[in-house]
A and B are shown apart, each in its own frame.
Chain A
């Protein structure tokens, strides 16, 4: 019984939806502010991501004619639920949840759901921009999943367990460095950030898979993306950071590492332009394959 209560707190509070939303909005504001400063602009005020969510929640939802209502409302909710559960699984410092053997596999599946929901949303929205965005998201997924999954599987193989708590608590070795590099290679494409911002290319695809989304469903989708950002940065932090003795210090290191990763991703995004989908897939099937191969070799060595 107490396990069930702990898992609910982990899902809803920390590291779940509430803390994930707050931390995600902070990281999102950091991205936008840093991008602005790098472009000599002012950037949005601190609470802007929160204001954006509240604004979208208050708008009327307009469903285009012929679009399946159940999909239109259900896909954002499925995306949010999956990412919330993924967040709850991550063994962040001071997390009340207790992991189970194999939760790394569950985490991988849960983190794939937002991408699948985005692809389905684009295809079901009866918009040409949505369909092209969804198709490019699917293709890009074929690319970035190679180093992403290889990094996680390599660490799990090297540690010898598919339990996230065991993987997080393992001492740092060469495998962690190589796997972190492969993870970071996949991260900009997962976050749809330059140079891999192909699925949501505003100048080419208006809104990508989200073109026809508005109102509360769009707010839920954006919240799911925000939580996905926190989940991915948190996952990397948990894999790479060594455990110090003090939980508070662990927590501070966790937050600082997330901020550092986001700052790096933002600087990359501000300094690069968008590449084409075939260039992106070729990049991932060349360098992603190399990184994946290297991490698996180091893991099995």
Chain B
């Protein structure tokens, strides 16, 4: 009569299944919802290139701005976009993404930041500070390099190099 003992024991015991609110914390290194630091994004499209299901796309807005779009419905949480991003703007937080009610919820569309160059005045996408430090080092002061577009930065760097060798 083992089954009878088992049934009686189960009747008095607590349930083993968790309700959604009682779920244990995710393990370290868990790849959950994608986070995009728009201030660090340069619109380079490396993440869109690396994304195999095509969850990340970069589109041109009507006013000429670039938009970084993310569809969590297509995302497989493989984190290749976070690995390839040169400015470390993407990260997957260790939290399960919320259960979506419809296909459109959770979609992100971030505008890649643009501002006028301090040198020539044209609109450009600024590089984030850690990238400036890594790429330019001590050649050009960081607070100057951040406000210059690519052309003006190149000009500033070549001026700095010529000035050292003078």
- The reply on B99 being an interface residue by CB < 8 A is no
Interface residues of B in 3-18 (CB under 8 A from A): 3-4, 6-7, 10-11, 13-17
Chain A interface mostly helix, strand, loop or mixed? helix
Known contacts A42-B17, A42-B19; decide if A37 and B4 are in contact (CB<8 Å).
Answer: no
Instruction: Please give the distance in Å from A35's CB to the nearest CB on chain B.
Output: 10
Instruction: Please give the distance in Å from B99's CB to the nearest CB on chain A.
Output: 17
Closest to A270 in B: B7
Chain A residues positioned under 8 Å from B6 (CB to CB): 271
Closest to B4 in A: A271
Chain A residues positioned under 8 Å from B11 (CB to CB): 37-38
Instruction: Please give the distance in Å from B28's CB to the nearest CB on chain A.
Output: 28
The answer to whether B13 touches A40 (Cβ under 8 A) is yes
The answer to whether B7 touches A40 (Cβ under 8 A) is no
Contact among B7, B14, B15, B19 for A267, CB-based, below 8 A: B7
The answer to whether B17 touches A38 (Cβ under 8 A) is no
The answer to whether A40 touches B10 (Cβ under 8 A) is yes
Chain B residues positioned under 8 Å from A41 (CB to CB): 15-17
The answer to whether B10 touches A42 (Cβ under 8 A) is no
Instruction: Please give the distance in Å from B121's CB to the nearest CB on chain A.
Output: 60
The answer to whether B19 touches A39 (Cβ under 8 A) is no
Tell which of A36, A37, A267 has the most Cβ of chain B within 10 Å.
A37
Instruction: Please give the distance in Å from B153's CB to the nearest CB on chain A.
Output: 61
Chain A residues positioned under 8 Å from B7 (CB to CB): 38, 267, 270-271
Bound together, the chains give a CA A198 to CA B11 distance in angstroms of 26
The answer to whether B15 touches A42 (Cβ under 8 A) is yes
The answer to whether B3 touches A40 (Cβ under 8 A) is no
Interface residues of A in 252-292 (CB under 8 A from B): 267, 270-272
Query: Which residues of A does B touch, CB under 8 Å?
Result: 36-42, 267, 270-272
Query: Which residues of B does A touch, CB under 8 Å?
Result: 3-4, 6-7, 10-11, 13-17, 19
